[in-house]
Amino acid sequence: GAGVSQSPSNKVTEKGKDVELRCDPISGHTALYWYRQSLGQGLEFLIYFQGNSAPDKSGLPSDRFSAERTGGSVSTLTIQRTQQEDSAVYLCASSLEMTGTTGELFFGEGSRLTVL
Amino acid sequence: AQKVTQAQTEISVVEKEDVTLDCVYETRDTTYYLFWYKQPPSGELVFLIRRNSFDEQNEISGRYSWNFQKSTSSFNFTITASQVVDSAVYFCALIEWNYGGSQGNLIFGKGTKLSVKP
């Protein structure tokens, strides 16, 4: 697609339920990133994929969070047993190359998660 | 500790005024990159600029200019003759090449909300 697409754009769920957030990166972008934007907390790096591989998962806030990427394209961020502190906007970004070299990140509009 | 500080949480100006957004960073790395992103109300962050730690030349792009000073660890952003469309949240970010940089670990400041009134 023309840009990074995320779904759902808004999700309201009850505490304890599982949620899945989807990211469809720009076609041809090999790198994919998940960030979380919480009110008053700024943007927090969660995880990075190069192809289907996530070399470092230490940015994920807890073991309730997991992410996968298949076919070098779509990625899913799953939050199990959601808690109220998980409420945030989850932003996905993609790039042609790793950000430290020549690429810049292209962000989606985010998925706003509200846990009641 | 590595971090990015944007001391101004909100700025309000009147159209055509110049405005400078401050960014101060701390890093443990000698090789790093600095970024500015714009987040309009739609929520999608838009890349504005990237500078590396070896290039202190200031940059101008239209009404936007950036002043990178390693001596003060600052990377300030100036909008000249501001317009209503400039209203957004602006984020400064840092990537440390030898500490997660290869994994896209951007360290963001908390952002400055700019409101430009007509």
A-interface mutation test, from B105, B110, B112, most A Cβ less than 10 A away: B105
Query: Phi, psi (5° rounding) for residue A87?
Result: -60, 125
Residue A6 pLDDT exceeds 70: yes
Residue A1 pLDDT exceeds 90: no
For residue A106, list chain B residues with Cβ-Cβ distance below 8 A: 47
- Cβ(A95)–Cβ(A105) below 8 Å: yes
For residue A99, list chain B residues with Cβ-Cβ distance below 8 A: 33, 95, 101, 104, 106
CA distance A76 to chain B (A): 18
Between the CA of residue A28 and those of A51, A95, A96, A97, what are the distances in Å? 10, 9, 7, 10
Provide the pLDDT for residue B72. 95
Whether residue A99 and residue B101 make contact (CB cut-off 8 A), yes or no, is yes
Amino acid, res. A97: E
Between the CA of residue A22 and those of A56, A111, B89, what are the distances in Å? 20, 9, 24
Band the pLDDT of B118: cuts 50, 70, 90.
very high
Identify which has the larger pLDDT, B78 or B95.
Answer: B78
- The B-side interface with A (CB below 8 A) comprises 33, 35, 37, 42-47, 50, 91, 93, 95, 97, 100-111
| Mean pLDDT confidence for A78-102 | 86
Provide the pLDDT for residue B97. 80
Pairing relationship of beta strands A19-24 and B3-5 according to DSSP bridges: unpaired
Band the pLDDT of A101: cuts 50, 70, 90.
low
| Mean pLDDT confidence for A57-61 | 87
How many contacts (CB atoms, under 8 Å) link A and B?
A: 68
Provide the pLDDT for residue A7. 97
Q: Which of residues 27-66 of A touch B (CB under 8 A)?
A: 31, 33, 35, 40-45, 48, 55-56, 59
Provide the pLDDT for residue A28. 87
Provide the pLDDT for residue A98. 62
Secondary structure tally for chain B: helices H, strands E:
0, 12
Q: Find the residue in B nearest to A89 (Cα).
A: B43
Residue A13 pLDDT exceeds 60: yes
- Cβ(A103)–Cβ(A97) below 8 Å: yes
Residue A53 has what DSSP assignment? B
> How far is Cα A89 from Cα A11, in angstroms, rounded to an integer?
10
Describe chain B by its helix, strand, coil percentages, rounded to 5.
10, 50, 40
**H-run or E-run covering B31:** none
Residues 6+ apart with CB under 8 A from A36: A43, A44, A46, A61, A88, A89, A90, A91
Residue A100 pLDDT exceeds 70: no
SS3 of residue B33 by DSSP: strand
Provide the pLDDT for residue B103. 66
Which tokens sit at A17? Answer: 């339920």
